[in-house]
Each structure stands twice: as C-alpha cells, then as structure tokens.
Amino acid sequence: MIIVTGATGKLGRRTVERLLERVPAHGVGVSVRDPRKAQDLADRGVRVRQGSFDDPASLVHSFEGAGQLLLVSLDRTGEECVAGHRTAIDAAVKAGVGRILYTSQMGAAHDSRFQACRDHARTEDLLRSTGLPWTALRNGFYAASALQFLEPARHTGDIALPADGPVTWTGHDDLAEATAAVLADEGRFEGPTPPLTGPAALDFDAVAEIAAEVTGRSFTRTVVADDDFREQALAHGAPAPIADLMLSIFAAARNGEFTVVDPTLTELIGREPAPFRTQLEQAWAAS
C-alpha cells in the first residue's frame, strides 16, 4: 500500500488524484489530521486514517501496512519543522514502512540562505540515518509562491520586492504528476532526485514582462531594500519568523540557489512542464 500524508493539502491532494489514475484505490491510503476532509476519498475506496505529527502513536497507526510512504513536508520552519519530520520518520520505522519518499526542494543544503532548504537538508539527514530505502523529491520552487508575491502588483502595477535572482518556478500539478509516477515506479530513485524543475529560470524583471503580456497592462519592477521589505511585512501583520522566511527566499535567489533547469520532471510526466506564463494566466483568470 502507498500512504500519503498531507493528502488534503495542495500537493498531497493532487498527488493522490494522480496516483489513483495509476493504482487501484484499495492500494492507496492517506494520513490526515481531519478525516472528514478526506471523506470523498474514503467513498472512492481509499483508506483514510487520522494521523497527527504531534501524536506519534496516531502516525504509527496511519502508516500501518505501507510499502511506500509519501511524507509531504510540513508547513512549519526551523526546529518545529524538523521535529515534526523526525516524529513522522520514527513512526514510519516503527510501522515497518518499506520506503519513504519525502517532498524536499531543489536548493536543499545546510548552508542555504533559505531556512526551508536548511530544514529539508536536515530532514534528508534523518532519512539517510534510518537505513531504510528513501527518496527525496527535489522539487522546483513552487510557482504558487511567486503568484503570492505578485498579488499586490495585480492592483498597483508595481512589482515591489527585494532584489532577486532567476528561479525555476514549478507548478504543483506537474510535481504531483511526477510524484505519482515515482511512487508507481518504486525504487526509480535512491536518495535525492535531480532537481524537478519548470522549463525556465525567471527573475521578477522577466516576470513583470510576462505579466504585461498576459494582461496587456504595464508593470514596473521596483527593488525594495531588504530591511524595508521586512518592515512592510511586519506592518501587514506577518509574524517576524514569517517575514524573515520570505526575505530569505530572495537572499537564496540572489545566491543562485534556484537557477537550475533540469529535464527530469519533463521525463517523468512525458511533456514539458507548464511555463510560468501559463500558471499566471490560469491563476489570474480564476480570481
């Protein structure tokens, strides 16, 4: 059985849907905090069990019988994130899981400027130490993050953000399809995968041009000093750790941590991943 955590979230839910195109529903299980949100999956024959990263025993129960476990990374940062992953990995070992797959990131490294990438590197260390077969899916940077950064510019026409560097913005749909393909072809990758990236690395100057082409409007790109960006984030209600996390994305981009364009995602899904232009068009047309 293949068990997926976070199966009601953006990436987890899409992955389950893609997985059900490849394997029978009785071969898929999900571990979710609130089983009511996965009732439609249960109705389709998927095994739904309650599992919380704050309750190790619940995870052992929800991981029972897993030949493979997809551990979708937590939406936490720093020690809180790594501790949650450690709890899940320990539970997987106790439950006798055959292989652990983990949604890591292309820039995962202990010396990354981006906190989340340092968390991913520490989690990969934990996986390595289990002695179990494991795969770290080195996902490209989610295009959804760029779309969030662009939201104010939809109204102002000014992309006012810190200095950045090229990033291979990558879509959730493509990554979910690739994840399902890897799960269905067990053992295809051992350890970290090559970067699973979109087709081009773009900085926000290039994004401004794309936004102008898509909308027929003019967009400017204003570079905001790091300290000013942080103060603005705090003034808009962001907690200090979140403001620092957002700022660290730009520091890592300037450091060239997200510039690689790799063909592996294309090979896994059998077509070129959606370019950022397509994702921007779809997101702005839908809202």
CA distances in angstroms from 57 to 22, 79, 90, 93, 103, listed in the order given: 30, 21, 10, 12, 22
Say how many domains are in the chain.
1
Q: Tokens at residue 262, please?
A: 């790799």
pLDDT tens, residue by residue, 210-267: 999 999 999 999 999 999 999 999 999 999 989 999 999 999 999 999 999 999 999 9
DSSP string, 241-253: HHHHHHHHHHHHH
What is the SS3 string spanning 185-217? CCCCCCEECCCECCCCCECHHHHHHHHHHHHCC
Place of tokens 């082409």: 213
pLDDT tens, residue by residue, 267-284: 999 999 999 999 999 999
The answer to whether the beta carbons of residues 115 and 77 sit under 8 Å apart is: yes
Residue 185 pLDDT grade (very low, low, confident, very high; cuts 50, 70, 90): confident
Q: Assess if residue 258 is contained within a domain.
A: no
- Which residues have CB under 8 Å from 43's CB, separation 6+? none
- Reported as type and span, the H/E element at residue 196 is none
pLDDT tens, residue by residue, 111-157: 999 999 999 999 999 999 999 999 999 999 999 999 999 999 998 99
Q: Assess if residue 66 is contained within a domain.
A: yes
Tell me how far apart the alpha carbons of residues 137 and 196 are, in angstroms, rounded to a whole number.
7
Q: Assess if residue 47 is contained within a domain.
A: yes
CATH number assigned to the domain comprising residue 124: 3.40.50.720
Q: Assess if residue 86 is contained within a domain.
A: yes
**Does 287 score more than 80 pLDDT?**
no
Q: Which domain holds residue 35?
A: 2-138+172-192
Q: Assess if residue 16 is contained within a domain.
A: yes
The answer to whether the beta carbons of residues 29 and 15 sit under 8 Å apart is: no
**pLDDT in the model for residue 188:** 85
**Does 286 score more than 80 pLDDT?**
no
